[in-house]
Copies of this chain bind each other. A is one copy, B any other.
Amino acid sequence: MRRSVIGGAKRTTTTTCLFLLNHAHHRSLLPPLHHRLDSSSSSSSATALLLLLRRLSSSSSSASSPSPPNMPNPVSVQSINPKVLKCEYAVRGEIVILAQRLQEELKAKPGSLPFDEILYCNIGNPQSLGQLPITFFREVLALCDHPAILDKAEAQGLFSADSIKRAWQILDQIPGRATGAYSHSQGIKGLRDTIAAGIEARDGFPANPNDLFLTDGASPAVHMMMQLLIGSEKDGLLCPIPQYPLYSASIALHGGSLVPYYLDEETGWGLEVSELKKQLKEARSKGITVKALVVINPGNPTGQVLAEENQRAIVEFCKQEGLVLLADEVYQENVYVPEKKFHSFKKVARSMGYGDNDLCLVSFQSVSKGYHGECGKRGGYMEVTGFSPEVREQIYKLASVNLCSNISGQILASLVMSPPKAFILSLSLSLFVNDFLLKVQDNYWQTLEDAFKSLEGITCNKAEGAMYLFPRIKLPEKAIKAAEAAKTAPDLFYCRRLLNATGVVVVPGSGFGQVRTSPCFLK
């Protein structure tokens, strides 16, 4: 129902060709987008779209093909862990592997393809598309990497005074100033203190450094919680559809059940508690023990920003139903519409009077997103509240098995949660850049959104936040039939053709779990 469009004239199928665009308007400044296209349109609109992409972009990242052929040996696909086979991760899946092959082809034989470069629009990776890092962050990282230069006179000419000052502060927080030592498995205590203070300043409610687990990006933190919560396929997690496929992938890897709840495209990807209740009831009737609810806010890949009222209802639902609330809040700094504001779920819960005894809540944060987009640094954390000391001990044990996360990522996480204040020169510069970036992003979203809307057969919700647009494309019947003949899902078929024709790398909507609706009619 939700995804069918009923109308007259031309017969098409609404399919789920979802793709991610990943571009910088100015190489030096802009973070990526990703977009879903729900149906193909005429070739002229595809060309228009391509032209727009080419115009907006000026670079692409490169990567090699993953593996050469070897002969089979004791281990076969039949004998490995079946959960690995079941796991899918579309944002780096088939289309990306094809793109890497085409890139090799282009390198070996320039001019052999109808395009000269591959445009990687499959993931939010701003710096691969030319966005420059924030100087202050990088100065501090460089100084912490090589503290021996901190005292030298030349350093004053190369690094800002506030970077030098901050580097000293950070080094003093690290036992023995040893940035090359394993840290506490939750992360360096002093850096956790800084992050906790940042959370407190953001929310207006206390944060405890002992609740923080610093991780190599948010992904390992999500895996850790999945590993903790999932014991068998009878353990389920409520996940949004469409969703960032890390969730479906890690639930599959840990052998649990994904209990889908659907975001309503018609109401701007609204998250209705009635839908949560319905799906929870259904899952329970099948004997699934639902352990947790995953909420991504701002949404990935849908870009919606939840209203505070909506968040309150979600918190209430988790409390009543005894669910852990896993809040993916990595896009907390990427909000573009003046009428919306990011509120952490912890702030919302605390403002409702709910404390540690009322709700198990985990908030994920990453240095990869925001205005800085430091994906390659692999920094992040989770704030874990409301669990019993015994369960906390188990989470600590999981963290300890990998010893600790990388120290540069830990330092960067502390910087991101305590960015420079406006007074000092480099800080002002950083804040200016930050503000400018978000403004430019906003225009960029608008430009693309308008472009999509102007194309035949494409609809697209407004991006309120995150790094992505998620348009719907209606494929003509002929395309559906060609896909069926090729034994391929129509959205994958579309993405593959788009890539082969244009060099634009996008990901099919089914990769985000989006359901393909039955044949329907254009309005």
Instruction: Please report A residues at the B interface, Cβ cutoff 8 Å.
Output: 59, 61-77, 79-85, 87, 89, 92-93, 100, 123, 125-130, 133, 135, 138-139, 141-143, 145-146, 148-149, 152, 154-155, 157-159, 175-176, 178-186, 189, 192, 208-211, 216-217, 219-220, 223, 227-231, 235, 246, 249-250, 253-254, 289, 291, 322-324, 356-360, 368, 372-378, 385-394, 396-398, 400-409
A360 near B75: Cβ-Cβ < 8 Å: yes
CA distance A100 to B400 in the complex (A): 14
Q: How many copies are assembled?
A: 2
* A176 CB contacts on chain B under 8 angstroms: 59, 61, 127-130
B92 near A185: Cβ-Cβ < 8 Å: yes
Min Cβ gap A38→B in Å is 25
Q: Given A128-B182, A176-B59, A181-B61, verify A406-B391 contact (CB < 8 Å).
A: no
Min Cβ gap A314→B in Å is 15
B219 near A403: Cβ-Cβ < 8 Å: yes
Q: Which 9 A-B pairs have the closest CB atoms?
A: A63-B184, A128-B181, A74-B322, A72-B388, A92-B400, A378-B406, A142-B146, A376-B407, A71-B357
CA distance A233 to B192 in the complex (A): 38
Q: Given A68-B210, A158-B149, A231-B80, verify A73-B387 contact (CB < 8 Å).
A: yes
* A181 CB contacts on chain B under 8 angstroms: 61, 125-128, 375-376
CA distance A158 to B146 in the complex (A): 10
Min Cβ gap A73→B in Å is 5
A66 near B406: Cβ-Cβ < 8 Å: no
A75 near B154: Cβ-Cβ < 8 Å: no
Known pairs A68-B389, A81-B227, A154-B158. 15 more at Cβ < 8 A?
Answer: A62-B189, A64-B184, A66-B186, A66-B210, A71-B388, A81-B231, A83-B231, A126-B181, A138-B146, A145-B145, A154-B155, A216-B216, A223-B402, A253-B401, A376-B406
* A409 CB contacts on chain B under 8 angstroms: 406
B73 near A185: Cβ-Cβ < 8 Å: no
Among B135, B154, B210, B376, contact of A154 (Cβ-Cβ < 8 Å): B154
* A394 CB contacts on chain B under 8 angstroms: 77, 80, 84-85
CA distance A154 to B82 in the complex (A): 56
CA distance A138 to B143 in the complex (A): 10
Min Cβ gap A431→B in Å is 19
CA distance A69 to B393 in the complex (A): 10
Min Cβ gap A84→B in Å is 5
* A235 CB contacts on chain B under 8 angstroms: 81
* A62 CB contacts on chain B under 8 angstroms: 175, 189
Min Cβ gap A399→B in Å is 8
Min Cβ gap A220→B in Å is 6
CA distance A141 to B397 in the complex (A): 31
Residue of B nearest to A69 (CB): B389
Interface centre among A127, A211, A253 (most CB of B within 10 A): A127
B183 near A387: Cβ-Cβ < 8 Å: no
* A403 CB contacts on chain B under 8 angstroms: 92, 123, 217, 219, 375
Residue of B nearest to A63 (CB): B184
A408 near B142: Cβ-Cβ < 8 Å: no
CA distance A87 to B100 in the complex (A): 39
CA distance A410 to B318 in the complex (A): 41
* A72 CB contacts on chain B under 8 angstroms: 388, 390-391
* A291 CB contacts on chain B under 8 angstroms: 74-75, 79
Q: List 16 A-B contacts (CB under 8 A).
A: A61-B175, A61-B178, A68-B210, A71-B356, A73-B357, A74-B360, A77-B391, A80-B231, A81-B228, A83-B227, A89-B397, A142-B149, A180-B372, A180-B377, A219-B401, A220-B402
CA distance A385 to B71 in the complex (A): 10
Min Cβ gap A276→B in Å is 15
Min Cβ gap A359→B in Å is 7
B74 near A323: Cβ-Cβ < 8 Å: yes
